[in-house]
Amino acid sequence: MASSKKQQFIRDAEQIAFNEQHRKTIQFNMGKYHTAVGLGKLRYANLDAARTKASEIKRHTLAHLPEYLEEFERNFTKNGGTVLWANTADDAIRYITEILQKHAVRSIVKSKSMTTEEIELNHELERIGIESVETDLGEYIVQLAGEKPYHIVTPAMHKSKQDVAQLFHEKFGFPLTSTAEEMTNLARQKLREKYLAAGAGITGANFIIADKGGICVTENEGNAIMSTAFPDIHIAIAGIEKVLPSYADLALFWPHLAQHGTGQAISSYNTLFTGPRKESEPHGPSQMYVILLDNGRTNLYAQEKLQVALSCIRCGACLNACPIYKNVGGYTYNTTYQGPIGTVISPHLGSFEEHVHLNTACSLCANCTEVCPVKIPLHELIHENRVRAVSQNYFPLTEQIGMKAFAFAASKASRIDAVGGNLKNFVANLLGTKLWGNKREFPKFAKQSFRSQYKKRRNK
Ligand code: SF4
C-alpha cells in the first residue's frame, strides 16, 4: 500500500508537472495571490516582530494545551453550548450523525472547513441520506465537480473562469459566455434555497478562544454567518490545536491570517460564536455543539521536535511558496492537507508508512519556512521526517544500498575520479528515467574529471 501510494505520487507528479494548461491556471491564480500578499506585507511596520509574537503565543498555547482546552470547555458550557471530544474521525462522524438524526435533520449547509474534509463528512452524510451542501463558492464549485479541495485556502485554484463556466453549463444549463459575476449570482440564488431548507449548519473554526468560550470563523462571503443564522442547530468541528488563550489575541491573529492567506488587511467577515442564542435573543441557533477533534494530533503533540507543526493557522502561504506544490499541484499529494505543512503532518495524522514518501518531494529550499506567519521551521521538520524514515528502514533495500554506495563514493573526490566519464555515463543511461524522469536528459559527465583536466592544464 505504502509503495503503491508512492508510485501513484510519482506517476501523477510526472503527468501534471508537464500539463501546460494546469501550469497556466496555477501561475495566473498564484500570481494574483503573490501580488496581493506582497502589497499587504507593506502594511506591517515590522512583519518579523508580528511573526515572532504570533509564534510565541502559539508555542505558549501548545505548552499549556490541555489547560486551555479545558478552560474553553468550561466557558463554552457556561454559555449554554455542548463540547464533545472526538479521538478519531469516526468519533466525530458518530457525534454529528447522532445529533442530526436526533433532530430529524435531512439537509445541512456547511461553510469551508478542512477539518470536515479530514473526516470526509460530506461522503459520510451522503451515505446516510443527509444532503450536505458546501456554501463557500470555491468549495461549492469543487463539490459540483465531484472533486476535493485543491488547496487549503483556495479550493478551486486549479480552475479557470472558463472551467467554471463549463461546469455551470453542464450542471445548470447556464450560458458558456457567463461572466464571473453572473455565475456568482447564480450560486447565490441556489444556495439561498439551501440555507432556508437546512436543519443544521456545520462550520469549522479558525480559532478556539479559551477565555470567552467561543469559536472564530473568518471568511469573505458571509456564507458561514448564513449557515449558522438560519438553521436551528450549529455544529462546529475544530482541531484541538486551534485554541488561543484570549480574545485579545485576535487583534494579531485575525489580520495576520488574512494577510498570509489572501493579502487582505482583514477578511470581510469575522465572527466569534459563543454558544446558542440566549432567551433574550430572537435569532440564531437554539443549540450549538463544538466537536474537538484529535485524530492523530496528540501523536504529533507527543513528539518534541515535531510538536511545533501544531502551531499552524492554515493560511496556505507555505503551499503558495513551494516550488514542488506549484509544479505537481494539490491533488498529487492525495492528502487532506497538501504542500509543506501537509508533508510534515500527514505521516503523523495518518499512517507514517503511507505518507512519508511525500517528504522526499522537497528540495529543502526553505521558502516555506521563510513565509510562515507563525515561524514553523517546515523544512527542518521535513528533514526530521526523512531522518526517521531512514532510521526506521522505510525506504526499499535497493534505494538504501544505492544511497550508501553513493555516500561512500561521493565523500571523497578521489573515489569519484577513479571512475571515468564513459562509465559514469553508461550507469546514468542504465538508470535512465529512474534518475531523472522521462521528460529530461540526464546531463553528460565529462570524459575526464575536473581535477585531472586542471592538473593537465597547469602542467602545460
Ligand atoms: S505551516 Fe505556516 S505557512 Fe503553512 S499553512 Fe501553516 S501557518 Fe501557513
Q: How far apart are the C-alpha atoms of 108 and 134, rounded to whole Å?
A: 9
The DSSP secondary-structure symbol of 221 reads: S
Compute φ and ψ for 133, nearest 5 degrees. Answer: -115, 125
Is any ligand 1 atom within 6 A of the Cβ of residue 372?
A: yes
What number of other Cβ atoms are within 10 A of residue 48's Cβ? 9
In the predicted model, what is the mean pLDDT of residues 437-451? Answer: 83
**What pLDDT, on a 0 to 100 scale, did the predictor assign at position 452?**
87
User: SS3 for 267?
Assistant: coil
The arrangement of strands across the sheet holding 207-209 comes to 243-244, 207-209, 214-219, 269-273
Q: What's the pLDDT at 149? A: 96
Q: Specify the CATH architecture of the domain 65-295.
A: 3-Layer(aba) Sandwich (3.40)
Residues 460, 444: Cα–Cα separation, whole Å:
26
Q: Is the pLDDT of residue 64 over 90?
A: yes
Phi, psi (degrees; rounded to nearest 5) at 304: -50, -45
pLDDT confidence of residue 428? 83
The torsion defined by the Cα of 392, 395, 401 and 405, in degrees rounded to 10, comes to -90
In this predicted structure, the answer to whether residue 389 has a pLDDT above a threshold of 60 is: yes
Index of the ligand 1 atom closest to the CA of residue 341: 1
Residue type, 44: Y
CA–CA dist 224, 112 (Å, integer): 8
pLDDT at residue 234 is higher than 60: yes
pLDDT digits (tens, 9 = 90+) for 344-358: 999 999 999 999 999
Has residue 56 got a pLDDT over 80? yes
Ligand 1 pocket test, pick from 57, 313, 336, 346 with the greatest ligand atom count within 8 Å of Cβ, gives 313
Gyration radius of the chain over CA positions = 25
Alpha helices in 18-160 (DSSP H): 20-41, 47-63, 65-78, 89-102, 114-118, 121-127, 137-144
- Pocket lining: 315 vs ligand 1, CB cutoff 6 Å: yes
Nearest CA to ligand 1 atom 8: 315
Determine the atom of ligand 1 nearest the C-alpha atom of 371: 3
What number is the average pLDDT over the span 308-329? Answer: 97
Ligand 1 site, residue 376, Cβ cutoff 6 A:
yes
Task: Tell me the C-alpha distance between 96 and 299, whole Å.
Answer: 24
Residue of minimum CA distance from atom 2 in ligand 1: 372
pLDDT band at residue 173 under the 50/70/90 scheme: very high
Q: Residues, the chain, total? A: 460
Ligand 1 centre and the CA of 310: distance in Å? 10
| Cβ–ligand 1 contact at 321 (below 6 Å) | no
Find all residues with CB under 8 Å of 144, minimum gap 6, and list them. Answer: 167, 168, 171
365 vs 368: CA distance, rounded Å:
8
Residue 399 has pLDDT above 90, yes or no: no
* SS3 (DSSP) at 21: helix
Average pLDDT over residues 164-192: 96
User: What residue has cell string 503523523?
Assistant: 348
3-state secondary structure of 289: strand
Residue 110: the pLDDT is 97
Overall average pLDDT of the 199-210 stretch = 98
Helix-then-strand count for the chain, H and E: 24, 10
pLDDT surpasses 70 at 226 = yes
3-state SS class at 86: strand
Q: What is the mean pLDDT of residues 76-103?
A: 98
Secondary-structure percent of the chain, ordered helix, strand, coil, rounded to 5: 60, 10, 30
Q: Which helix (H) or strand (E) holds 339?
A: helix 339-349
What is the percent of the chain with per-residue pLDDT over 90, rounded to a whole number? 83
Ligand 1 neighbour 381 (Cβ under 6 A): no
Is the shortest distance between the CB of 318 and ligand 1 below 6 Å?
yes
* Averaged pLDDT, 162-179: 96
Q: Which of 188-192, 334-338, 436-440 has the lowest mean pLDDT?
A: 436-440
Q: What is the pTM of this model?
A: 0.92
Pocket test for ligand 1, best of 47, 52, 314 (most atoms within 8 A of CB): 314
Instruction: State which ligand 1 atom lies nearest to the alpha carbon of 313.
Output: 7
Distance 86 CA to ligand 1 centre (A): 24
Using the predicted structure, report yes or no on whether residue 263 has a pLDDT greater than 80: yes
The pLDDT of 405-434, averaged and rounded, is 85
Say yes or no: CB of residue 382 within 6 Å of ligand 1. Answer: no
- Greater confidence, 2 or 361? 361
Local structure of residue 151 (DSSP, 8 states): S
Could you tell me the residue ranges of all domains in the chain?
65-295, 411-459
pLDDT recorded at residue 297: 98
> When comparing pLDDT for 100 and 396, which is higher?
100
Mutational test site, ligand 1, from 376, 380, 381, 382, max ligand atoms within 8 Å of CB: 376
Is 346 within 8 Å of 355 (Cβ atoms)? yes
Higher confidence at residue 436 or residue 364? Answer: 364
pLDDT at residue 318 is higher than 60: yes
Residue 1 has pLDDT above 60, yes or no: no
What was the pLDDT predicted at 426?
87
Answer yes or no: is the C-beta of 239 below 6 A from any ligand 1 atom. no
For the Cβ of 312 lying below 6 angstroms from any atom of ligand 1, the answer is: yes
Please determine, for residue 2, whether its predicted confidence score (pLDDT) is greater than 70.
no
Give me the chain's average pLDDT, please: 94
Sole residue written with cell 453572473: 182
- Residue % of the chain over a pLDDT of 70: 99
Q: Which atom of ligand 1 is nearest to the CA of 344?
A: 1
Average pLDDT over residues 254-259: 97
The pLDDT of 47-52, averaged and rounded, is 98
